[in-house]
């Protein structure tokens, strides 16, 4: 899988892709992640990529020309399955969406900034708009990192145990059940006996029951 991220602040994304699972997936060659600085595609003085919005109002807007040049250059090299724009008014990211995106070959992620991007960018280039929640961030970079993390961990070979992702919260529209590790008793707090029994059918049934119970208590909307 190849992910091209278009941003005015590529340095914000250095840390998420420089450690842990995302770093290892890149080193293994399971995913390619390329950052593209919008400022490299402007001919304005001082590398300007934003301007005041027509009609007045507070906040600067990313201009269409440098974004057009960047996307056009990328599309000249390969076909893209999706061109995604990170924006608070997009469809809210969920596990099913991440599952679907993980099956794609090439995607572009455009990070908004300031007051957003010229609407013509969204009209002409964007195939999908995604939000990470009903709140506003300073830019789309952190949202892009969240999307990439959710997607990349689903690619076969990224996790040491590939079945781990299949039992994550939301994969079957249920919250994950409680988990425990050693010691089996700590300061009077004990691990449920069934988990120590070695009876795997009973353990699996317990986990299913606990997932159902936790979902009913915390996220009943998932069961509707």
In this structure, what token pair is assigned to residue 168?
């994550």
Give which of 57, 50, 45 is closest to 8, Cα–Cα.
50
Question: Cα separation of 110 and 100, whole Å?
Answer: 19
Is position 137 annotated in a ligand binding site? yes
Helices (H) and strands (E) in the chain, counts: 6, 9
Is position 31 annotated in a ligand binding site? no
Is position 191 annotated in a ligand binding site? no
Q: Where are the beta strands (DSSP E) in the chain?
A: 2-7, 32-37, 50-52, 60-62, 82-92, 106-111, 128-131, 185-186, 189-190
Is position 116 annotated in a ligand binding site? no
In this structure, what token pair is assigned to residue 92?
């809210």
Question: Cα separation of 83 and 151, whole Å?
Answer: 15
User: Long-range contacts for 52-55 (Cβ within 8 Å, ≥24 apart)?
Assistant: 53/115
Is position 33 annotated in a ligand binding site? no
Is position 41 annotated in a ligand binding site? no
> Is the distance from CB of 3 to CB of 109 less than 8 angstroms?
yes
Is position 134 annotated in a ligand binding site? yes
**Residues in the annotated binding site for S-adenosyl-L-methionine:** 112, 132-137
**Residues in the annotated binding site:** 112, 132-137
């Amino acid at each position: 899988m190849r992910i091209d991220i278009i941003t005015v602040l590529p340095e914000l994304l250095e840390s998420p892709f420089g450690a842990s699972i995302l770093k290892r997936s890149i080193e293994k060659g399971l995913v390619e992640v390329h950052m593209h600085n919008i400022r490299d595609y402007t001919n304005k003085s001082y590398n300007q990529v934003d301007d005041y919005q027509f009609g007045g109002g507070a906040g600067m807007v990313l201009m269409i020309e440098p974004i057009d040049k960047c996307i056009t250059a990328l599309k000249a090299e390969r076909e893209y399955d999706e061109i995604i724009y990170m924006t608070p008014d997009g469809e809210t990211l969920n596990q099913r969406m991440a599952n679907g995106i993980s099956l794609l070959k090439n995607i572009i992620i455009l990070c908004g900034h300031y007051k957003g991007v010229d609407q013509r960018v969204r009209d002409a280039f964007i195939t999908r708009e995604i939000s990470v929640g009903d709140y506003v961030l300073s830019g789309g970079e952190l949202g892009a990192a969240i999307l990439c993390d959710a997607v990349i961990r689903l690619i076969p070979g990224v996790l040491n145990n590939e079945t781990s992702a299949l039992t994550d919260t939301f994969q079957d529209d249920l919250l994950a059940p409680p988990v425990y590790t050693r010691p089996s008793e700590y300061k009077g707090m004990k691990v449920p006996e069934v988990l120590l029994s070695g009876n795997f059918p009973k353990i699996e049934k317990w986990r299913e029951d606990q997932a159902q119970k936790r979902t009913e208590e915390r996220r009943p909307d998932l069961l509707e």
